Amino acid sequence: MADASAEKKLILSGIQPTGTFTLGNYIGAVRNWGPLQDEYRCLYFIADQHAITVKIEPAELRKKTLEAYAQLLACGIDLNKSLVFIQSHVPTHSQLMWVLNCSTQFGELSRMTQFKDKSRKHPDDINAGLFDYPVLMAADILIYQADMVPVGVDQMQHLELARNIANRFNGRYGETLKVPEGYIPPIGAKVMSLQDPTKKMSKSDTNPNAVILILDDKDTIIRKFKRAVTDSDTEIAFKEGKDGINNLLTIYSAVSGKTIEESVKEFEGQGYGTFKMAVGEAVADHLAPVREEYARLIQDKAYLKECYTRCAGEALKMSYRTLNKVYKKVGFVPTELR
C-alpha cells in the first residue's frame, strides 16, 4: 500500500461471491473502484460471510470466492495501491458486529428492503444471518473508519443503517466510529434486468438472458442485447415509461463515456435493432480486456493466494485499532492477547 496514505481518506467496499459479476455490479460498483485508488486509500473485499445467508454449496462458495477475487483484480484494482481480501480471513469484522448488534434495533432491521425481498425469495430459510446481514455490513465499514463507501443504489439503505448505528454507538459511548458517506456513480447506479427493465440486474437472477456477465463472450453479449425487452414504440429517447430503452441508453453511456444526451443524439432516427446491436458491440469491446485478464489470473492460484493472504494480514492489523477501542469503550476487560 502506498505510504503517504496516512492522510488519504479511506474507501471501502465489498461484493458477494454469489456468481460471476454482472454488468450491473460492474457499472454500478466495481469499475468505479479502480479509479479511486490514486486519490484514496482503498480496501475492497469479497463478502463470503454475507454469501452464506442464502444456501450455497461449500465447494461452490470456495470456487466462486476465488473467481470473484480474480474478477476484482481483472476489473482494474491494483494491489500496489489497494488491499483486496476475503472477509472471512479478517475475523475482527464479525467481532465488531456482535457489539454493533447491541446498538441495533430489531425494528430497523425489519424494515430493510433486501431482507424483505430475500425472505420472500427464500421462504424456507429466513435465517438470523439474513436478518442480521446489514449489521455485518456496518461492521465491515466501521471497523476501518471508512470515509466513503462506493456502492450501487440498492445498498444505500444498508449504508444509512451503518451511519445510524455509528451515531448511536458514538452517542452512547463517546466519539469512536467514523460516520461514512455513500458514493453513488453518476450514471448506472441501478442497471436493470434486460428481460424485465423494472427490476435490477442481479447475479442471482435465474434467467440468463436477463443478465450480462462480465465474462460473457462477444456473441453471447450481442445475443442477449438483441433479445432485450424494450417497448412497442420506435423512438430512442430517455423518458418515463421507456424503462428498457432508458436502461440500454444508460449502459451505452456508461461504457462509452458519453452523456445520455450525446447517446440519444447518436442514435436519433435509428431503429431499435441497430441500437441494440451497437450497445452489445460497445459492451463486448469494453469488457474484452477484463475477460482476458481474468483468464490469465484465474490460472495462477499461487499468486492469488499470496495476494489475499498478504492483504488480509494488513487489513487485520488495521482493524484491531478500532476493535480495541470499541472493546475498551463498552467495558470489556483488556487482554494482551490481541
Which CB atom, from 224 or from 327, has the smaller least distance to ligand ATP? 224
Which CB atom, from 249 or from 326, has the smaller least distance to ligand LTN? 326
Q: Going residue by residue from 33 to 52, which x/- string records binding to ligand LTN, judged by CB under 6 A? A: --------------x--x--
Task: Measure the CA–CA gap between 240 and 246, rounded to whole angstroms.
Answer: 8
Beta strands 10-15 and 41-46, pairing class: parallel
# of chain residues touching ligand LTN (CB under 6 A) = 14
Check if 200 is active-site: yes
Q: Are 140 and 49 in contact (CB under 8 A)?
A: no
Q: Are 306 and 258 in contact (CB under 8 A)?
A: no
Residue whose C-beta lies closest to ligand LTN: 14
Binding-site partner at residue 137 among ligand ATP, ligand LTN, none, CB < 5 to 8 Å by type: ligand LTN
Which strands make up the sheet holding 10-15, listed edge to edge?
82-86, 41-46, 10-15, 148-150, 181-183
* Long-range contacts of 59-68, Cβ-Cβ distance < 8 Å, separation of 24 or more: 61/17, 64/17, 64/18, 64/19, 65/17, 66/298, 66/301, 66/304, 67/17, 67/20, 67/298, 68/15, 68/16, 68/17, 68/21
Q: Going residue by residue from 147 to 176, which x/- string records binding to ligand LTN, judged by CB under 6 A? A: --x-x---x--x------------------
Task: Measure the CA–CA gap between 107 and 131, rounded to whole angstroms.
Answer: 11
Among 130, 141, 187, 251, the residue binding ligand LTN under the rule CB under 6 A is: 141
User: Distances in Å between the alpha carbon of 220 and those of 17, 203, 244?
Assistant: 22, 16, 19
Which CB atom, from 155 or from 250, has the smaller least distance to ligand LTN? 155
Task: Measure the CA–CA gap between 287 and 322, rounded to whole angstroms.
Answer: 38
User: Distances in Å between the alpha carbon of 290 and those of 19, 149, 181, 287, 296?
Assistant: 16, 23, 29, 5, 10
Instruction: Give me the least distance between CB of 225 and ligand ATP, in Å please.
Output: 16
Q: Taking contact as CB under 6 A, which single stretch among the options 137-145, 212-220, 284-292, 323-331 is the one that binds ligand LTN?
A: 137-145
Instruction: Give me the least distance between CB of 264 and ligand LTN, in Å please.
Output: 30
> Coil, helix or strand for 19?
coil
Amino acid at 188: G
Residue whose C-beta lies closest to ligand ATP: 28
Instruction: Give me the least distance between CB of 153 and ligand ATP, in Å please.
Output: 7
Binding-site partner at residue 18 among ligand LTN, ligand ATP, none, CB < 5 to 8 Å by type: ligand ATP
Which CB atom, from 199 or from 223, has the smaller least distance to ligand LTN? 199
Does position 201 interact with ligand LTN (CB under 6 A)? The reply is no
Q: Taking contact as CB under 6 A, which single stretch among the options 9-17, 69-77, 102-110, 200-208 is the one that binds ligand LTN?
A: 9-17
Check if 203 is active-site: yes
Given the residues 8, 9, 81, 200, the one annotated as active site: 200
In the block, residue with C-alpha cell 436519433: 268
Binding positions for ligand ATP, rule: CB under 6 A: 15-16, 18, 22, 24-25, 28-29, 151-152, 154-155, 189-191, 200-204
Positions in the binding site for ligand LTN (CB under 6 A): 12-16, 47, 50, 137, 140-141, 149, 151, 155, 158
Q: What are the catalytic residues?
A: 118, 200, 203
